[in-house]
Structures are given as C-alpha cells and as structure tokens.
C-alpha cells in the first residue's frame, strides 16, 4: 500500500476543525490503529481513515447542504431535515477530492461511519467502533462494556453500538435514518443466525 504522509494530513485537518473535534479525531485515529493491530488490518490505512472520518463535521449545516447539491451528492429527506448526518457522505467526497485519498476502503469507512450499513467491511467496522469508544467519549451508556467488547468481538461491539444508538434515538433524541435501521436489522439477523448454529440455520432455509 501507498505510504501516506500522515503529518501533512494531520496539519491540514487541524485547520478544518475546532480543538475539541481535533482531539476527538486523534483519539479515533489511535483507537483505529489499536483495533487494526487486534484484527490484523493495515495500521496506517486504519489511522488515515480515523484521521479523516470527521473531515466535514465542522462545515456549517447550510454549507453542507449547498456543497452536497453542488457536487451532486444525493440528499435524502431525513438528511435534509438532519443535515449533520451529511458529514459522512460529504467527508467521503472531500477525502477523495480535497485530500487526494483514492483508497476505496478508506472512503467507504468515512461514508458509513455515522449510520453504519449492512455487511460492513473490516475497516468500516473499525472506524465505526473506534468513533464510539475513543478515550474522550464520555456520554454514551455502557461505554466500559463496549470498550472491552471491541477488543474481544468486533461484531458484538458493533451490534451493541447500533442497538444503543437506536435506543437513544427512540427516546426522542433524533429521527432515525433508514440506513441505521437497516444496519441494525442486518446485524441482529446475523447474530441470531450465528447463535442458532449451522444445523438450525439449514432447517430454517
């Protein structure tokens, strides 16, 4: 894989965000590296995905909508009502066009880091989980449990985060994006099938 100049990416991204967001970004970057070590993924690629995952986060919401329209990035009804969600799609676009990242796995991980999606790649999962558990995070419920789980069973951690996120949204904290629900349903079914074991799975066919 290509050798990325991490220092210059860090310098560039620092200028695009406030300090709190930059500290979160560094936390995600190093947590991605740790998960990559644990699950045998390319460490540098995981770090770069973590470093860039929120590159569009600090763009004001009105500008996010305008930039998506300008670059023909599809905006769903839910995204129009909750423009912050667009920082994932816009971030993936900017990673390619502003940061010159062509690696499809990195772009996909940025694209899917907020809602998740069905059938995520290993890097998608690493970034999604790292974003939730990085050291500076302190609001989510069950953080100590999810942090430990992330290093024991990545899919179990992913499912727990999806489930806790939906609970949080259900309490009235936000409108549920279709992709968040699809991701949750997909991993719920996958975990049920795995728990049932191969025999029962065939019986259910």
The answer to whether 176 contacts ligand DGI (rule: CB under 6 A) is: yes
Please give the Cα distance from 93 to 85 (Å, whole number). Answer: 14
The smaller minimum CB distance to ligand DGI, of residues 45 and 87, is found at 87
Residues 60, 62, 68, 70, Cα dihedral to 10° = -110
Residue from the set 131, 160, 184, 187 that interacts with Fe ion by CB under 5 A:
131
Residue window 110-149: x/- pattern of binding to ligand DGI, with contact defined by CB under 6 A: ---xxx---------------x------------------
Residue 27 near residue 134, CB atoms below 8 Å:
yes
From residue 78 to residue 117, the character string flagging contacts with ligand DGI as x (rule: CB under 6 A) and all else as - is ----x------------------------------xxx--
Q: What is the DSSP letter of 152?
A: T
Other beta carbons within 10 angstroms of residue 95's beta carbon come to 26
Closest distance between ligand DGI and the C-beta of residue 91, in Å?
A: 9
Torsion angle defined by CA atoms of residues 7, 10, 12 and 14, in that order, rounded to the nearest 10 degrees:
-140
Q: In the structure encoding, which two tokens stand for residue 52, read together? A: 């860039």
Q: Which among ligand DGI, Fe ion, none contacts residue 64 (Cβ within 5 to 8 A by kind)?
A: none
Instruction: Report the partner that residue 134 touches, choosing among ligand DGI, Fe ion, none (CB closer than 5 to 8 A by kind).
Output: none
Separation CA 57–CA 88 (nearest Å): 8
Q: Which residues bind ligand DGI (CB under 6 A)?
A: 24, 54, 57, 82, 113-115, 131, 165, 169, 174-177, 180
């Amino acid at each position: 894989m290509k050798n990325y100049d991490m220092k210059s990416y860090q310098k560039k991204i620092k200028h695009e965000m406030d300090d709190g967001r930059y500290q979160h970004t560094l936390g995600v970057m190093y947590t991605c590296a740790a998960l990559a070590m644990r699950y045998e993924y390319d460490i540098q690629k995981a770090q770069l995905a973590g470093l860039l995952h929120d590159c569009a986060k600090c763009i004001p919401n009105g500008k996010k909508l305008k930039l998506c329209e300008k670059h023909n990035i599809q905006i769903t009804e839910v995204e129009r009502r909750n423009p912050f969600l667009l920082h994932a799609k816009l971030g993936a676009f900017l990673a390619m066009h502003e940061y010159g990242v062509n690696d499809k796995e990195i772009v996909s991980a940025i694209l899917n880091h907020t809602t998740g999606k069905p059938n995520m790649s290993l890097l998608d999962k690493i970034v999604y989980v790292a974003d939730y558990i990085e050291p500076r995070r302190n609001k989510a419920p069950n953080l100590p449990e999810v942090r430990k789980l992330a290093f024991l069973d990545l899919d179990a951690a992913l499912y727990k985060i999806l489930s806790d996120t939906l609970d949080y949204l259900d309490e009235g904290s936000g409108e549920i994006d279709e992709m968040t629900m699809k991701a949750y349903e997909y991993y719920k079914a996958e975990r049920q099938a795995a728990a049932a074991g191969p025999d029962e799975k065939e019986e259910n066919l």
